Amino acid sequence: MSEAPTDPSTSSGLRVEPSPRTDAAPHGKKPRLVLGVRARVIALIIVVQALMLIWVADSELAIGVHLLCYSLMMPTVLYLVLTRVCRRWLPFEQSELLLAYIVLTATIPIVGYGGMRFITAGMGYLQLFSNTQPQWLRYTPPLAGLPVLHDAEAIRGLYRGGSTVPWHAWVTPIAFWSVYLASLSAIWLCLAGIMRRIWIHHERLTFPIAMLPLQMSDPREDIFRRPVFWIGFAIPAILQSLLVFREWWPAVPALQLKAYYLNLTAAQPPPWNAFPLFPFGLYPMAIGLAYFVPGDVSFSCWFLALVMRFVYVIGAAAGIEAGGMGTTASRFPYKEEQAAGAWIAFAGIIIWGARHHWRSVAKMVPRGERGQMRLLAIGAVAFASLCAAMMMMAGIPRLAAVIAIAVYVAYVLSGSRVRAEAGGQWTFAPLLWTPNRVANSIMGTRGWGDQALVSSGFFSLIHVDMRAQSMPYLMEGLDIAERSGIKWRTVLVWVAIGTVTALALGWFTTLTKWYHLGVATAKAEPYPMRKVSIAFEEVNRLATAGGPWDRAGVTAMIFAGGLTLALARIRALGFFGLHPVGYVLCNTLTMGAFIVPFFIAWLVKTCLLRFGGNKAYRGGVPFFVGVILGDILTQAAWTFIGWVFKVPIYQFLT
């Protein structure tokens, strides 16, 4: 009997070898390097970064088309395509172009959701709206000692628009929040440097998101010459373009690809009618990325997401009303609390596993690198301590600040590992149980003053979303660097420098656009203001109804953490078990949209391996790379057209 085919995505078989040098210096001359790269590469990074941030500000703040929310961002994918098409005329080596791609993907998200986007929109919210909404009046006195806007004209211009940026009023907010965001980025740089060798060399994680740039830059095979690639490319290109045309001309027939929610049990009797709305989406990019996910991981993702929905039916059969926010029983099945517990426990598994892996890895690396790892570990702790200290300076209790930072680090670390194993079109941490909410639930807020609560509200505008944090992109970039002959230290140095330039350019582009449009006007995308409003509604809730620690919520969180540890232990013992990544994702927005894409990719991949073996699987790689590129490039192209011609474009995301 022949041996069953193995899942090739669990090995390094699809990795791209370093490309040959295409622009070597003349014989006998060495190019002058600045921190490991040529000056022209530095210019490329800065110029392209500036152009991307201008495009992002115009599209995301004005048109409402999101460019940075995907794991594969539209601007950076467009950069990949342009450099691939024009590479014979560009005065750069392939490794230099890939280094620029890595730096761009790890730095431009800092201006987005969970970075600069929400905090800038909230800098004068309480002062402005206290004039018309009296509940905010009690929170304006504590603002005197906080790094927010205090100039009345600067606040009015920010929210009403039609003015220039009063930079003098922004000196303190820019300085404080830049240091905070840069310190968070420094944590991710240190953690990435520590985890790099373990995840890439020792555990050989698949990094599905890295598959597209690796395949496009493979010098051994020109994927653009494969007909099956263009078939995969054409499918989303046609379907997404039809949706754009239907937005302009409603008579055009088109198939909706983004998720819509089906009530599958509306006509069924109890308890079956408690089954939640089912997200049916055919996201081409999500399907393509899931094809590169190991079969046990993709199966666990969609299967556990379905199981979690049947928990609502079980609760209804027991007479428990699900989904409320009032009584303890009405919060069943504690979806957000489960998500928080799973993400925190998964981070613990990562750290504990790294501790054991490092013992064997340390024997194979030079003494100098071991010393560098110790310095990186010290740096991660130091910058995390700095972030906690800044929260304390703003008035947040010491223990609450430490818990919030620790939970946020756990979320980002878990999100990075999830991306490395399961890919995903986007990555969301727990939506409502943010790090600040976890800290408040563990400690309780009884005895907190208004300044502590208001400060927590401002910091939550960053902690609420991890998509702006660089570590997931950085780990994928280090994997690309490893396969392309780029030194990992060079990557870390230039991502650090690129973070500083992205912050400087981001403040300029964001504030210039906000003051032109007005954050609170109909000209601006409403999502940032909605998130600001939610953050301060939570502040008001805690101030008026806050009390002791949340016994039920913390208990549910501990239960979820224990279940995550149990799943990991069962797999470690060699028994058949579901992958803990599936449970980590099943209560988040990620699997709230991608159940069907994960199932389709898992089914196709399983059938190919079962009936055609590894050869059939590898034959499908160009097709699914084409699907990924066709989807993201079509969206990027139409978004660019909308930006240039100032016309409304179909919202591909939601």
Classify residue 529: in a domain, yes or no.
yes
Residue pLDDT, tens place only, 586-632? 999 888 889 999 999 999 999 999 999 999 999 999 999 999 999 99
Residue pLDDT, tens place only, 235-252? 999 999 999 999 999 999
Could you identify the residue written with the tokens 């079969």? Answer: 295
Could you identify the residue written with the tokens 């926010």? Answer: 325
At residue 500, the pLDDT reads 97
Residue range 441-466: mean pLDDT, rounded: 95
Residue range 258-281: mean pLDDT, rounded: 90
d(CA 240, CA 482) in angstroms, rounded, equals: 34
Classify residue 513: in a domain, yes or no.
yes
Provide Rg for the chain, Cα atoms.
25
Classify residue 20: in a domain, yes or no.
no
At residue 322, the pLDDT reads 66
Classify residue 9: in a domain, yes or no.
no
Classify residue 3: in a domain, yes or no.
no
CB-based contacts of 514, cutoff 8 Å, min separation 6: 61, 120, 121, 158, 161, 524
Going by pLDDT thresholds of 50, 70 and 90, the confidence category of residue 651 is confident
Going by pLDDT thresholds of 50, 70 and 90, the confidence category of residue 2 is very low
Residue pLDDT, tens place only, 193-245? 999 999 998 899 999 999 999 998 877 778 888 999 999 999 999 999 999 99
Residue pLDDT, tens place only, 328-368? 556 889 999 999 999 999 999 999 988 877 777 777 777 77
| pLDDT averaged over every residue in the chain | 91
Classify residue 525: in a domain, yes or no.
yes
Greater pLDDT, 34 or 125: 125
Residue range 44-59: mean pLDDT, rounded: 95
Classify residue 249: in a domain, yes or no.
yes
**Encoded tokens for 432:** 């409502």
d(CA 35, CA 70) in angstroms, rounded, equals: 30
At residue 1, the pLDDT reads 38
**Encoded tokens for 422:** 């399961």
At residue 328, the pLDDT reads 53
Residue range 400-404: mean pLDDT, rounded: 98
Greater pLDDT, 49 or 4: 49
Amino acid (1-letter code) at residue 108: I
Proportion of the chain above pLDDT 70, given as a percent = 94
pLDDT above 60 for 324: no
At residue 622, the pLDDT reads 95
Which residues span the domain enclosing 245?
33-645
Number of compact structural domains in the chain: 1
Amino acid (1-letter code) at residue 85: V
SS3 163: coil
Tell me how far the alpha carbon of residue 202 is from its chain's centroid: 24
At residue 10, the pLDDT reads 61
Proportion of the chain above pLDDT 90, given as a percent = 75
Classify residue 101: in a domain, yes or no.
yes
